[in-house]
Chains A and B, each alone.
Chain A
Amino acid sequence: MPREDNYILDMQNITKIFPGVKANDNVNLSIKKGEIHALVGENGAGKTTLMNILYGLYEPDGGQVFYEGNKINLDGPQDAIELGIGMVHQHFMLVDPLTVTENIVLGNEPRSGLMLDQKTAKREVKEISDKYGLFVDPDAKIQDISVGMQQRVEIIKTLYRGAELLIFDEPTAVLTPQEIDELFEIFRSLKEQGKTIIFITHKLKEVKTISDRITVLRNGKSIDTVNTADVTKEDVAELMVGRQVLLEVEKTEAKPGAEIFSVDNLNVKDNRDIPAVKNISLSVRKGEILGIAGVEGNGQSELVEAITGLRNVESGKVNLRGKDISKYNARQIKREKVAHIPEDRQKRGLIMDFDLKENIILGYHDLEPFSKNGIMQYDNVAKYTQDLIDKYDVRGGGMEAQAKNLSGGNQQKLIVAREFSHDPEFLIASQPTRGVDVGSIEFIHKQIIDRRDNGAGVLLVSAELSEVLSLSDRIAVIFEGEIVDVLKASETDERELGKLMTGSKSEAGGESNE
């Protein structure tokens, strides 16, 4: 039986078993009508599985779902949509060359004869966007509008299909700070109009800002449901991880030494042969962390690839300890005691089909004691791997397990273990905690600070502003391939960085470009 009348959704004792994993283990989730309910948990806690059950994508192995008081059995997303359940996916399901209006009505088009009734469609879209304050240009093509706008289109699409309960799967992951604020405005306006929102995230600050209640999942179980007003961020983190977590990075003042790394007037092109890095000059000193803040796609990836030997340098210099390494390949640069945590661990950082011990030597596999005279010394590798997975607490099946079977956090720890174990003097960390759970974030941050305190220079690239702010000693803001400004981390904040990241000049001025 459903619990009370004011619950729009009541999921009771949901169990879902995948081969070898209990993804959901007697999970309970009750959502009140008209609330913003945050569903939080680490990667692999079972959030997405639970929502996929609610959206009709998976059939549960046990438990019951009540929607507006009635027990429901969903055969597919179409059933969920008809009931008024809408989902805004993390990866948008939009057709790029079509207009906003066409995308919204796709699948439920008003027709005149065989043709799409453009007028009616546009009118209906406008009605919805006016009602909820979701302003979009109905005639713009999806490929021409920003990610934030595309997300609005997704929201309008679910509303157009009559959604009363909207599920948002990590909606802020792709947004700038300003866009996040705007999204939360939309949340509030949806709530005023009586809609109910389930908000999946692992960012605690957002949970505190916007949600009314919070349900925490851990290891496939529902741990607790709490009123947001009654708890602190630290409380929620503890519920998620099962132990106390340090949310704030603890670090002492940097003691920068001599310059170890610099780039001078660097120019790099992207895959389409368009300049992506334009005349960038930067310098990193021993014992300091230089953060690069910027909205993704503003040249950070190309910059990092160029200085790690993975992309051609068009012009300019890359200096390591005063030596120009712009012509070096990836192997040569690694041998200069440069460590690199790549932004995409699945594409670059790991060979997903290799096991842990094969992955943990990638890039060092031809050196002793891992290889002698061209023959792999897997006994030595095994010992080394066991040491590192103990030291860095990499969990998920031991050294014979394939990397693809690890959670994102453990994959990242594996990379950190590999890169930090060869005593790097210069460290490039690109999105080091993307898609990583709270516990692992804490660990990875601590490792980076440790490296800095051991005298390594660190170049940190992250789309996560709070990460850049809390780890860096200095912050360079990148916009459209250029460094807009370099600021002291202690003298700036998210507001100012957010503005610089979108191209507006700093009012404060900050420290001038070196």
Chain B
Amino acid sequence: MNNYSDKIKSILTDLGLSLLSIVVALIVGTLFIFLTDKSPLDAYSALYIGAFGNFSAIANTLWRSTPLILTGLAVALPFRAGLFNIGAEGQLLMGGFTAGVVGFYFTSLPAFIHLPFAIIAGMFVGGLWGGLPGFLKAKMDVHEVIATIMLNHIAIALTINYGINIFRDTGRPATPRIMDSAAMFNFKNIMDHPFLSKLPFAELFAHPAIRLHINFFLALAAAVVLWYLLFKTTLGYEMRAVGFNPDGAEYGGINASKGIITAMFISGAVAGLAGVGEVLGTHFSFMQGMDAGYGFTGIAVALIGQTHPIGVILGGILFGALAQGGLEMQFSGIPSEIVMLIQALVIFFVAALQVFKVYLAKRKAKGGVE
């Protein structure tokens, strides 16, 4: 059986190609850095050091990648079932808002109830926000792209424009601060934790600059769960069948509706978790601007990760690193516009590589025998 080694080989080739396209993007980026009076070498070393230069940097890269991994997963799962979820942004907002409200509204719950309750409530509402277009698609053939875009607008209106104003208690455009009992564990507080503080190297985390919180590990868990769902369960088999070939799936007696609604509900819940984490772990309240376009960046993360849950983790970390390292680049004197431009170039080349690979696959098929 050399299928196994074939698989590993093709994964390594994929990784190598992705790295190559990042290198090409950085080379093209030098042209723009020359527009400033800085040296590209300095700029890129700042990017690298900012993202991976020390323990805090790595931790914060992972922190920034957390919502992106989750929205990436929220796009990737429906993609495998043949659906294009543009609505992660709205699902994230709905989830985050719900968690924020639950987080401050209940004032006397113990943490072991309050936090899970806030997380689950946020995921559930996000799930509804994804499941609704799934339902419309399955039952009335409403195109999911249109439905999810419209629901994004409604979510923005409901949460940011309307919701915040109902609850806000200060001049800040945000809901009130959540109770401590609903807050996610932040690793910088590790030394206060009765068990985690005993772990070896725990003190490494105890740095005030570290913003990594527990949601990163929930994101990893979500990726594993989705991987299992897609590749190990019967429902996942059916979802993938519908995604690859709806006619073939119909012939196989597969009820596409079930897969469509489930995939969209789960993806909404996962996008909701991205919002939940930002509210309960990063900002401690639902605030205007906290979504930062994660829902849309998630589309790029999903595509770069080849819509495979494990690939999405890597894609999310790449974007997290660009965001985190980009800050350091700015500190080193590169204008923020150039920093954004380089981030965009990396995304562009990695995405172009995907297109190139699809093209290669097509050519190979065409060049095949008869």
Contact = CB atoms under 8 A, between A and B. Distances in A.
Interface stretch (A27-35, A45-53, A116-124): A45-53
A131 to B, nearest CB: 34
Interface in A174-224: 220
B241 A354 contact: yes
B172 interface: no
A347 B368 contact: no
A363 B367 contact: no
Interface in A320-334: 329-334
A329 B253 contact: yes
Contacts of A400: 3
A348 interface: yes
Contacts, number: 97
Nearest to A24: B369
A19 interface: yes
Nearest to A329: B253
Interface stretch (B44-52, B56-64, B242-250): B242-250
A49 B370 contact: yes
B247 A348 contact: yes
A329 B241 CA distance: 17
Given A375-B234, A376-B232, A376-B234, A310 B251 contact: yes
Contact of B251 (A44, A58, A363): A363
B337 to A, nearest CB: 41
B227 interface: no
B161 interface: no
Contacts of B255: 329, 331
B41 interface: no
A375 B255 CA distance: 17
A48 B366 CA distance: 12
A356 to B, nearest CB: 11
Contacts of B235: 374
A404 interface: yes
B237 interface: yes
Interface string B1-44: 00100000000000000000000000000000000000000000
A49 B369 CA distance: 7
A399 to B, nearest CB: 9
Given A19-B364, A358-B237, A400-B3, A349 B370 contact: no
Interface in B58-108: none
A362 interface: yes
Interface residues of B, number: 27
Nearest to B234: A371
Interface string B114-145: 00000000000000000000000000000000
A19 B363 CA distance: 11
B335 interface: no
B278 interface: no
A23 interface: yes
A309 B251 CA distance: 8
Contacts of B241: 351, 354, 362
Given A49-B369, A363-B253, A376 B233 contact: yes
A21 B254 CA distance: 35
B179 to A, nearest CB: 38
Contacts of B365: 404
Contact of A352 (B238, B245, B364, B367): B245
Given A48-B370, A58-B367, 14 more contacts: A18-B367, A44-B369, A46-B370, A47-B370, A49-B370, A329-B255, A330-B253, A331-B253, A347-B247, A348-B251, A351-B240, A353-B245, A365-B252, A398-B3
26 contacts: A18-B364, A18-B367, A18-B368, A19-B364, A21-B368, A43-B370, A44-B370, A48-B369, A310-B251, A331-B254, A334-B253, A347-B245, A350-B248, A351-B240, A351-B241, A351-B248, A351-B252, A352-B244, A352-B245, A354-B240, A365-B234, A365-B237, A371-B234, A371-B237, A376-B232, A398-B3
Interface of A: 18-19, 21, 23, 43-49, 58, 220, 308-310, 329-334, 340, 342, 347-354, 358, 362-363, 365-366, 371, 374-376, 378, 398, 400, 404
Those 7 A-B pairs whose CB atoms lie nearest each other, nearest first: A331-B253, A362-B252, A363-B252, A400-B3, A348-B251, A371-B234, A330-B253
